[in-house]
Structure 1
């Protein structure tokens, strides 16, 4: 997919020459994301031709909205995920716990586990996709996690010498290990229990004694 970036940029420039500033038709973004998701969930390559066939949107319209198909795929892969805005005005441990384990405990009907697995596969196959997803979505979600950890340090709840970036990696890594290495499902009770235990260990390691 990374070789489509040049084509996307050219199409975007062509679209701008035809009519910069024109109002966009309602619903086109949603149709494109839905078409990309249908292809991703079916395990089919996301190409401009397939998107046009499934969505009815022109190639020029696609590239007016996304500079490349990689960016569209990254947006589609994040569709359905809960916002990761963690409050810092209350119980920080409870807020962090809910952000990382609440979704798994409640189930995530809008973001099926199979889509998460497809995201991992696509990222491993194409580092451009992986980087685009990181820049557009993961890095932004991570800001909220770091904010909670920093608030804990400022309140004197967490140790002042903790590496916030490393701790954020630890928290996320627990869940990816279940999926990638153990081949487990986050819907299984024993997996959730294992993640809960790991969260407790991480928090205890960060907390002021």
Structure 2
């Protein structure tokens, strides 16, 4: 059975009034300003973003219906998706998605400091967490879901494997390293532990 899966960035949701064409330069200006405020630990309010970006409050609300929608897009800005063909062994694809090309996936220049700030904002704001999950994280997870389904169908893992539970376990290990153990998410120690956990989980899913 052959699988071909392509995941690309969806256009950012932009709301414009009647007769107002999208202004990509302004969208980027607002996103960059919001990211700078996030990075610097500044207050995250529409007024602060207005002052930092030079955009008007009305222009921002035409593009993003809420502050959380804007922050979710800012947090996800710069992340990339790759194209995969699931017509061979799935294990190398999973390893590439999780480890080998991690920095391409999370975005150029994405550091442990960014990751911790991301976690901090999510844990402090459940509504932002929900918006980010619905707009970005759940969509990006589809590639892993399809990879595991392909592994089921070609016999690499058991057909009764709970894919959602497997993904929770795989990604939970990475989060645990930083949120609980306190090591940088991209440190050799964190990556080694995550690889070991992935290998253990994969062996447990094999027929």
Unaligned runs of 5+ in 1: 1-11
The answer for the alignment partner of 1:145 in structure 2 is 144
Superposition deviation, residue 108 in structure 1: 5.6
Q: What is the count of residue pairs matched by the alignment?
A: 192
Q: Within 2, Cα distance between the matches of 1:104 and 1:88?
A: 19
- Provide closer, same or farther for how the CA distance between residues 199 and 84 of structure 1 changes in structure 2, counting only shifts above 3 A: farther
Q: Which residue of 1 aligns with 2:21?
A: 23
Q: Which residues of 2 match residues 189-204 of structure 1 at below 5 A?
A: 189-204=188-203
Q: Which runs of 5+ in 2 are unaligned?
A: 1-14
RMSD value over aligned CA atoms?
2.0
Return the TM-score normalized by structure 1.
0.85
Deviates more, 1:162-171 or 1:22-31: 22-31
What does the per-residue CA deviation read over 1:134-183, in whole Å, with 9 as the maximum and x for residues that have no partner? 11111101111111111111111110111010001111111000010101
Q: TM-score of the superposition, structure 2-length normalised?
A: 0.85
Partner deviation per Cα, 1:168-201 (whole Å, 9 max, x = no partner): 1111111000010101113322221111111111
Alpha-carbon distance between aligned partners in 2 of 1:152 and 1:26, rounded to the nearest angstrom: 40
CA distance in 2, matches of 1:169, 1:155: 22
Q: Distance in 1 between matches of 2:140 and 2:107?
A: 17
- Alpha-carbon distance in structure 2 between the residues aligned to 1:56 and 1:198: 47
Q: Report the counterpart of residue 160 of structure 2 in structure 1.
A: 161
